[in-house]
Amino acid sequence: MGLTVSTNMGVPDVHDARDLPREVLALQATSPATFAVTALDGHRFAWVKPAGPAGPEQLIVADPATLQSWMKDEWKIGSVTGWPDTIGQLLGPEAMANTRSAEQHQRLRQLFSPMLRDDSMARMLPKIQGSVQRYMREWAAKGTVPAYTETLTLVFDVLVNQAMQLDWPDADIKKYAVLFEVWNQGFTPSTADPRWAKGMEARKELVARFRSAVSDPRLLPGSIPATLRDEYCAESDVVTDNLIMVLFAGFETSTSLTVRLLYELAKHPDALQKLRAEQQAVAAKYGPTLGLKALGAMTYTEAAISEALRLGQMVANVPRVATKAIETPRAPPVPAGCPFSASWAGQSVLDPAVQGSTTAFNPDRWLDKRNKASLKLHQTPFGYGTHSCLGWRIARAVAAAVAQELALAYELSAETDAAWDDFPTGSRPANELPLSLKPLAASAQ
Ligand code: HEM
């Protein structure tokens, strides 16, 4: 694939990919990152036909400057989310990702904003670390475990008990993590797929469980569920749709990140070695408990997490529909009603800081000052602007806590000879990544 960038400054670099074969178009639903990169073929924009038999043409956008200007204030520029009907119904119409009310969207973002604050992170970090230590001890005791499935439960626990502060017992965490995976498998291209119907059944149970949680007098004041209930009332769909929204946004995405990191560290002992050295130094300086200062000192670990995000492309593209014509200088005109896709994956491969080593795991590229501006511009795994991620610090914290615990306490081996399947909010090893952890002291004997 050649990287062709227009040299004619006034003319947008648009590729006509309308003649893609049906099997490539079908990748839109099953393998969004591969689809976007294939369709763009190194260009900044590409026109493609719909995946199904009918529907309008779609523009794929991978030009960083255009994405920044379009995503910064979407309500004003005239763009709304265009998630497929299957996901739309699984989430519910009042969810932050679906609502057509700018006012409600902005209010919800304010109510969720504590997830990004230092004081919330300072509260959560030791608890996330405690959960990670407990789960990893269990994995080590079991022998070889499917890392992906196990991490889904760990992440579900963090989302429910730390991000939402719901204090659900272990039995509920295990039960509802399995149920949420059924919900998640409902992300099929069509509502005719039986997995979608099962996902919708799972949704009913989740709604009932969340409704009982927000009516419980023991609900922690100031927690996100309590804040939503106080704003909208316990029976409101806005509350349940948006608690499901947190799970949708954080579940597969954060799991994919953590598992991708484990996979890369299993394949790159040199990187694991550097990580161990860093974690030992951080523990010596800040003590054993994970806090904001310790996290801030994990330079190499954070670089490894950024590299895992870049390789995994957990949210490869986000779908949008123009509500009015959008005309900006660097982009082809988008008529009102036209769907377009903000392709974080397509933008990522255009980055000069990754050229020639796009598929290599190289955390050091993040530590090279010469790459800083380029990486910042092209690598935006958590989106940009109006709908940008509200949970990115939590996702990175889980990955950092796992890396820390691994580095300080375990030897790992994993079956890394597997393909990765991508889908709307994650990327998953086909073999679930069989993983064995051995306590360091025992493996040294
Ligand atoms: C590796 C993990 C994650 C990745 C890659 C990721 C990525 C993203 C991206 C790209 C968006 C923008 C979607 C769009 O523009 O339509 C987004 C939105 C969002 N994320 Fe994350 N996310 C992750 C984890 C999390 C977690 C752990 C939470 C919650 C605890 C979370 C909560 C949200 C919410 C609530 C939104 C919607 C914001 C809105 O519509 O205004 N995310 N995320």
| Total tally of structural domains belonging to the chain | 1
Helix residue ranges, H only, 158-268: 170-184, 194-215, 224-232, 237-267
In a domain, 135, yes or no: yes
247 inside domain: yes
Ligand 1 centroid distance, CA of 443 (Å): 38
Q: What are residue 315's phi and psi, to 5 degrees?
A: -120, 90
Residues in contact with ligand 1 by the CB-under-6-Å rule are 81, 96-97, 109, 112, 115, 159, 163, 245-246, 249-250, 253-254, 257, 314-315, 318, 381-383, 387-392, 394-395
| Nearest residue by C-alpha to atom 18 in ligand 1 | 389
Nearest Cα residue to 320 out of 340, 343, 346: 340
* Binding site listing: 389
**What's the confidence (pLDDT) of residue 2?**
38
Residue 5 has pLDDT above 60, yes or no: no
Quote the pLDDT of residue 10.
67
Q: Which residue has the higher pLDDT, 325 or 29?
A: 325
Atom 3 of ligand 1 has which residue's CA nearest to it? 253
Kindly tell me the sign of the dihedral angle through the C-alpha atoms of 78, 79, 80, 84: positive
Q: What pLDDT is attached to residue 4?
A: 40
424 — pLDDT class (breaks 50, 70, 90): low
Which of these, 83, 89, 51, 53, lies nearest to 186 by C-alpha position?
Answer: 89
Binding region for heme = 389
Please state the rounded mean pLDDT for residues 96-110.
Answer: 97
Q: Identify whether 423 is part of a domain.
A: yes
The domain that contains 80 carries what CATH number?
1.10.630.10
The residue among 82 and 425 whose pLDDT is bigger is 82
Compute, in angstroms, the gap from residue 390 CA to the centroid of ligand 1: 6
Q: What distance in angstroms lies between residue 392's CA and the mean position of ligand 1's atoms?
A: 7
Residue with CA closest to ligand 1 atom 24: 250
Report CA(219)–ligand 1 centroid distance (Å).
25
Contact 44, 343 (CB under 8 A): no
Per the domain annotation, does 8 fall within a domain? no
Q: Is residue 9 part of a domain?
A: no
Ligand 1 atom with the shortest distance to the CA of 81? 16
Q: Are 318 and 383 in contact (CB under 8 A)?
A: yes
Q: Is residue 6 part of a domain?
A: no
Name every residue whose Cβ is closer than 8 Å to that of residue 41 and which is 6 or more positions away in sequence: 1, 2, 4, 15, 17
Domain containing residue 440: 14-444
Stretch (H or E) spanning 126: helix 118-142
- Pick the more confident residue, 380 or 10: 380
What is the Å distance from ligand 1's center to 248 Cα? 9
Position 3 scores a pLDDT of 40
Say if residue 35's pLDDT is above 80: yes
Query: Which protein residue's CA is at the shortest distance from atom 41 of ligand 1?
Result: 387
Would the pLDDT of 85 be above 80? yes
Q: Give residue 296 CA to ligand 1 midpoint distance, Å.
A: 22
Interface ipTM:
0.99
Query: Using one digit for the tens of pLDDT, what is the confidence trace for 344-363?
Result: 999 999 999 999 999 999 99
Residue 4 covered by a domain: no
Q: Is 2 a domain residue?
A: no
Rg (CA), the chain: 22
Return mean pLDDT, the chain.
94
pLDDT per position as a tens digit, 358-387: 999 999 999 999 999 999 999 999 999 999
Choice from 244, 261, 389 to test ligand 1 binding pocket (greatest atom count within 8 A of CB):
389
- Ligand 1 atom nearest to CA at 256: 1
